Chain A
Amino acid sequence: MKISTSWLADYISLEGLTPEEIAEKMTSGGIEIDSVEAVDKGVTGVVVGYVKEKTKHPDADKLNVCKIDVGTGEELQIVCGAANVDAGQYVPVATIGAKLPGDFAIKRAKLRGVESQGMICSALELGLNDKLLPKELQEGILVLPKLPLGKPIGEVLDLNTSVLELDLTPNRSDALSYIGVAYELAALTGHSVKLPDGKVFHAAEKTSDHLSVRIEAREECPHYSARFIKHVQVAPSPLWLQNRLMAAGIRPINNIVDVTNYVMLEYGQPLHAFDADRVADGGIIVRMAREGEELETLDGQQRKLQPHMLVIADSEKAIGLAGVMGGANSEVTADTVNIILESAKFDGSVVRRTSRQLGLRSEASLRFEKEVDPARVIPALDRAAALIAELGQGLVTEGIAQELIHAAQPAVIEVSLERIGRYLGIELSKLEVQTIFGRLGFDSEIRDGGLIKVQVPTRRSDITRDVDLIEEVARLYGYDNIPTTPIVGETTPGALTVPQAVRRELRRRLSDAGLNEVISYSFTAPARTKLFPELSQGAVPIRLAMPMSEERSVLRTSLLPQLLETAAYNRNRKNNDLALFEIGTVFHTDEAELTRLPQEKHRFAVLLTGLRRSAAWNRKAEKVDFYDAKGVLETVFDVLGLTGSVSYEAAAPGDLHPGRTAAVKLAGERGEQIVGYVGQLHPELQQESGLDDVYVAELDLAALYDAVDRDIVYRQLPRYPASDRDIAVTVDEAVPAAALAAAVQAAAGELLESVQVFDVYTGEKLGAGRKSVALALVYRHPERTLTDEEVTSAHAAAVAALEQSFSAELRK
């Protein structure tokens, strides 16, 4: 909503207030002013002039030489390039010494050898927004109606004003009008509101002879009123009216339509004028649209109506879409003689639904949607009728044709002084509170026990209960005047839950270890949900009803596709060495059409590619490999105290390298379960993605949350020495190292403290299909020093186990 201060001053005194001060007051009162714009952009010395004569410039085709009278008695010669300039026009003339916006000074000049004593101005040159002017005036000079010569243009065009742009919250539709804004400003300043004079002078004829109104849709239209105006002369509106409409951003059309718009801006009550001679039988019916009914709206569109849409009709046809837009079949045109002027209250949600469905929003629908003040239906009707009578020389017939299903009553709400104080944390006296309500224009009376009974006018339909009144008190008391206090009462301990603590720990550890955390979009392309099928576990991708793009149309079912996208994005920017992780939610459902919320799974994913360490003066570059990715998981499980419960097993899930991937298994109370995978990206997918070797892992965090061991229990440091032994064996290449270690652990028994693989080797000497694995074993007894015999015996058992189970050959 745009408010021009010179117009606003019709309804409330603005004395002593600059536009900036008004904006400041409004903003701190809760109606934010987005901008304050002076319409006058520094124009001086521009006056109304008359083009007495136009001749072609002798040396320039596109220039004209005009003789101009600006009322000084002296004739000015001005060279003008506008195509629309002509003799007999009244035009804005910038005389020598005039200033135009941008500090542009007009000087005596010669144009192609002809002297020019000033400039004829276009709207744009005067700093006006010319978007609302007819096209020919946008392209050429501004042509004015007949006006006194020499009159300063600022007075003519109402430039001495400022336009405030209101950013209204949805609850304050009462401020969608000048009078509404005046009431608000009155509450903030203590000034009083002056309402326009809506007195209608009647013709002798009775309205009922011409017009009747019947409401069929009684739920959707509680009040419909109309007046009949005869013998109007449709013409352009006077300049003051056009200026005001344009300041509000509305295009002037003719005196009838302009008045309906003007009064809508004044009262917030949308009005509509029908050509009475195109309404059959003068009978207005408010009803629901019929199945299959169509209507051409004023914008020239043929609209298919539906039975939930409210229409204005005559006995034969729909003539308007109630509260949204009039019909072309009853439009006021230059030939219109008699009009029916409508003012009504339509149900906001009906208007909203219709306007949404048809994609048709208007100044009227905007206001009806937010519920207009029922008390203004008649005052606005009368105000508009009076203005049309004045400006269009029409005759208003006697009486209003109307049907009132139910009249809105002002809300009566009770609130106690004590509750106001307790709610806000301030102490107010009865007098202070009553003064505030008085400024708002709310009648209030004090009842027993500090109870205040407040009558809220219908214009403030946003106020329905005591807390709404408390807000009014708070905002007029001033939010800044409310003190800051600490919460009194029972204290509560703050803490992280286990899952929250786990995610934080992972973030901290991994970033400390050199990985960068990413956050990717939850929306992805359908094709991407098909990648890594084992991670999606058969989930049906969930599709948005109205995605912004196909690329972001379904919810992710695993994190890795998004990480690949991130890797490709970085690769395109030459960020080749990546160690990334993400902790986020994936969305799983088995329903094709959601009837319940999907499962949201917390996942952890890692992506490594490029170099582990870049080359430097003292070292060679090292490429990442599978064991870096696995190492990240090992660190994760270590940190969570789960190392002992985790195992890795060769696996071949989709889109990962079948020879370089492991399923990650977690043993728990309910047995062993796969909680994720770690592996190299399948070479085909890698090539498609345009990436270097990529190693990835993704884990389900829920299982980890359940299993995490947060109890650190101290173990006594060993008091007796350990005995170290190594075993090197050759085995078949396919034998997993973990199996060897497990066999050794089982065979050597309790004395074996640890077993580590410290070398793996393949080579010609060993023969094809063989490998050498070296294990370091540490034997120890917690309570005594082991004897050589004990160690030797345990070690022999370990070696024997390897030989028996894996046909291992001991290397000497």
Chain B
Amino acid sequence: MKERLEALRAEALQELQGVAGPQELGELRVKYLGKKGALTEILRGMGALSAEERPVIGEVANSVRGAIEAVIEEKTAEYRRAETEERLRSETIDVTLPGSGLPTGAVHPLNKVAQEIEDIFIGMGYTIAEGPEVETDYYNFEALNLPKNHPARDMQDSFYITDEILMRTQTSPVQIRAMKAMNGQSPLKIICPGKVYRRDDDDATHSFQFNQVEGLVIGKGIRMSDLKGTLLQFVQEMFGKQARIRLRPSFFPFTEPSAEVDVTCAQCGGSGCRMCKGTGWLEILGCGMVHPKVLEAGGYDPEEVTGFAFGMGIERIALLKYGIDDIRHFYTNDLRFLSQFARM
């Protein structure tokens, strides 16, 4: 019996050596190790053996089975490897073909800039106040220290609807509305973004419809130095740590003192370039200490509280920030323009 087992081992190993493929390997497994296979066949004769012989033959039989299984396993692994390789080869694609991307759209650049400004001020403890785009003459002008026939009204030609109602020419009327809503309480810290309208012939730098953001702070002991501190913090968050500001005295009816604010040119950092016309500075803001008459119109006692206000044009900042050459692009909404803003 032992001899038969050894002979089986030799025969099996030899046959396995020459196996042609996975299918034949399967057949050989059945032939030698299957339920009706050769090994089982031989072992059927175990019953006839003596108690002493059984373990010896058993051990031989296990050794034979082990040897055959080892070879089969090795061959199986080999075939699997080959099969995987074949699959990988056949599945190879051209990875340089374009991917099927996710759709990307854009928030309008004016809103993108407005949101950025809003976020900076929200971080500084401001809330966002809004008001109507159609305003009364009172809120748009008179409450802002611009009585009828005031020469400063020339600064902004307005779209009137009736003698008393007009398209707001500035976001400042929101300040008055916000102040009144406070019923004399302070502090008040708001910014007011929104559309405004002025009679202006459209060209590359003028639009009859545009957007402003105004800020207003009212409180006890608010100083002009606080205004400077606030604006510096804002421009550094907006344009980078290296940004500096320069204030020049100016005039707005609703502030006193008033100032125009220049920021170091973002393009050249102040050394002078085409964008800043060689000055190193860009004019982007108007500001000042809230005029006592405006505080009074807002329901405050100018002896009790002081405040500052500032305002800027969103279009101007967007033009500068993105290097846009024509303000009309913002309102014609050419897809090729809009889609340029679909990114960080």
Contacts and interface: CB of A to CB of B under 8 A. Distances in A.
Interface of A: 27-30, 32, 169-173, 348-349, 352-353, 369-370, 422-426, 465, 467-468, 470-471, 474-475, 479-480, 482-497, 500, 504, 507-508, 510-523, 542-548, 552, 555, 566, 569-570, 573, 575, 578-580, 585, 587, 593-595, 597-598, 600, 616-619
A30 B259 CA distance: 8
A348 B154 CA distance: 14
Contacts of B107: 507-508, 511, 517
A169 B134 contact: no
A470 B115 CA distance: 35
Contacts of B128: 496-497, 500
B7 to A, nearest CB: 57
B195 A522 contact: yes
A467 B257 contact: yes
B98 interface: yes
B89 interface: no
A503 to B, nearest CB: 9
Nearest to B121: A494
Contacts of B118: 496
B317 interface: no
Nearest to B288: A471
Interface string B321-344: 000000000111111101100100
B289 interface: yes
Contacts of A512: 104-105
A555 B338 contact: no
A543 B256 contact: no
Contacts of A488: 221, 226
Given A27-B248, A486-B226, A569 B332 contact: yes
B183 interface: no
Given A370-B151, A522-B197, A585-B133, A424 B331 contact: no
B108 interface: yes
B106 A517 contact: yes
Nearest to B291: A467
Nearest to A519: B108
Contacts of B250: 30, 32, 169
Interface stretch (B19-27, B67-75, B160-168): B160-168
A555 B124 CA distance: 36
Interface string B236-264: 00000000001111110000111110000
25 contacts: A27-B248, A170-B151, A349-B149, A425-B224, A475-B249, A484-B225, A485-B223, A485-B228, A492-B126, A495-B122, A515-B105, A522-B133, A522-B195, A523-B208, A523-B209, A552-B208, A566-B332, A569-B332, A570-B335, A573-B335, A579-B103, A593-B162, A594-B161, A594-B165, A597-B165
A369 B151 contact: yes
A514 B251 contact: no
B200 to A, nearest CB: 9
A489 B306 contact: no
A66 B257 CA distance: 63
A575 B336 contact: yes
Interface in B95-121: 97-98, 100, 102-108, 110-111, 115, 118, 121
Contact of A570 (B98, B197, B330, B333): B333
Given A170-B150, A488-B221, 11 more contacts: A170-B154, A348-B151, A422-B221, A484-B229, A487-B217, A487-B226, A488-B226, A504-B115, A552-B208, A566-B333, A618-B97
A423 B224 contact: yes
Contacts of B81: none
Contact of A479 (B133, B247, B251): B247
B311 interface: no
Given A479-B259, A516-B105, A489 B335 contact: no
A352 B151 CA distance: 8
A484 B224 CA distance: 8
B52 interface: no
B292 A513 contact: no
Interface in B122-163: 122-128, 130, 132-136, 149-152, 154-155, 159-162
A493 B102 CA distance: 37
Q: Which 7 A-B pairs have the closest CB atoms?
A: A514-B103, A425-B225, A30-B249, A169-B251, A425-B223, A471-B257, A494-B122
Select the residue from A173, A500, A580 with max chain B CB neighbours within 10 A.
A500
Given A471-B256, A594-B162, A424 B224 contact: yes
B33 interface: no
B107, B209, B289: which has the most chain A beta carbons within 10 Å? B107
A542 B161 contact: yes
A580 B107 CA distance: 10
B54 interface: no
A415 to B, nearest CB: 12
Nearest to B103: A514
Given A484-B229, A492-B187, A511-B106, A352 B149 contact: yes
A521 B207 CA distance: 10
A467 B132 CA distance: 30
Contacts of A519: 108, 110-111, 330-331, 333
Given A467-B256, A489-B219, A494-B123, A482 B152 contact: no
B201 interface: yes
Residue with the greatest number of chain A CB neighbours at <10 A, chosen from B152, B161, B251, B333: B333
Contacts of A480: 246-247
Interface in B246-294: 246-251, 256-260, 289, 291-292
A353 B134 CA distance: 25
B232 interface: yes
B2 interface: no
B134 A597 contact: yes
A22 to B, nearest CB: 15
Contacts of B222: 487
